[in-house]
Amino acid sequence: MWTKINQVYSTPHAMNAWAHLVGTNKWHKVKPIASDGVTNTFLILATAKGADRQVYVATESSGNITAVYM
């Protein structure tokens, strides 16, 4: 879905990054498959938030973010 990002959140714990999406109005965790993938996905989400741009966010049925396109 194409959406904007309300907020992003991460912690220093391994593979823990989140985004609050406008389209669903709830927090979604970046799926923790690989640490580089979580970091790169979080950077795209944070960049989109900072630039106030829409991104395409792919989620699985549980709500985890699996891909982001800007």
Both tokens of 55, joined, read: 């991104």
pTM of the model: 0.90
Instruction: Say how far apart CA 70 and CA 57 lie, in whole Å.
Output: 9
Non-local CB neighbours of 38 within 8 Å, separated by 6+ positions:
15, 16, 17, 30, 31, 32
What's the pLDDT tens digit per position in 20-69? 999 898 999 999 998 899 999 999 999 999 999 999 999 999 999 999 99
Both tokens of 37, joined, read: 């993938």
Are the CB atoms for 34 and 13 separated by under 8 Å? Answer: no
Residue whose pair of structure tokens reads 């944070």 in the numeric block: 46
